[in-house]
Amino acid sequence: MGKLALTSLAVAVLVLTGCSQKSPEVDMTKGTSDTKGASTNDGMSALQKLIASLEANSKTIYFDFDKYTVRKDQQANIDANAALFNSAEAKSFSIKVEGNCDEFGTDEYNYALGLKRAKSVKDGLVAKGMVADRVTVVSYGESNPACTEHNKDCWSKNRRAEFKVLP
């Protein structure tokens, strides 16, 4: 009985004292150096600024209810995105196409529809000269709404494909 108590005490001491970790201290007051060697003082490297700029200039692609084909009025956005992502400053990045849906349908159906929408946009970008290996697709189904109101205008904003630039 004494050995069991002594062993339990030893294990408790080891667990409580042996596994402590220190968090590293980071000095955020000095400028940082990004991967291209430029130093910034605003917290964003030149690489992060370029990625943010490319994402801000990309155009969202919208879809009709329960459809995954690119609408004729959205083809100009596909063309503009292909030109943007094929530009010299974007050539070294990968592009993630994120398919989204409105709240109608089951979760499984919406994830499948979001994937079809993302794939449809990828096919449009590849048709305009993008290398297919640079483009990945993902579906968020209805889990990533741009608008949460319950009306037709809001639902139409959720039926979309958006873009993320990956280093």
In the chain, % of residues over pLDDT 70: 74
pLDDT in tens, 94-122: 999 999 999 999 999 999 999 999 999 99
pLDDT in tens, 59-87: 999 999 999 999 999 999 999 999 999 99
Q: What pLDDT is stored for residue 29 in this prediction?
A: 45
- Which amino acid is it at 10? A
Tell me the mean pLDDT in the region 125-129: 96
Q: What pLDDT is stored for residue 33 in this prediction?
A: 43
Measuring CA to CA, how many Å separate 6 from each of 3, 16, 17, 18, 159?
5, 15, 17, 17, 64
Asked if residues 109 and 119 have their Cβ atoms less than 8 Å apart, the reply is: no
The domains of the chain, with CATH numbers, are: 74-166 (3.30.1330.60)
Q: What pLDDT is stored for residue 44 in this prediction?
A: 80
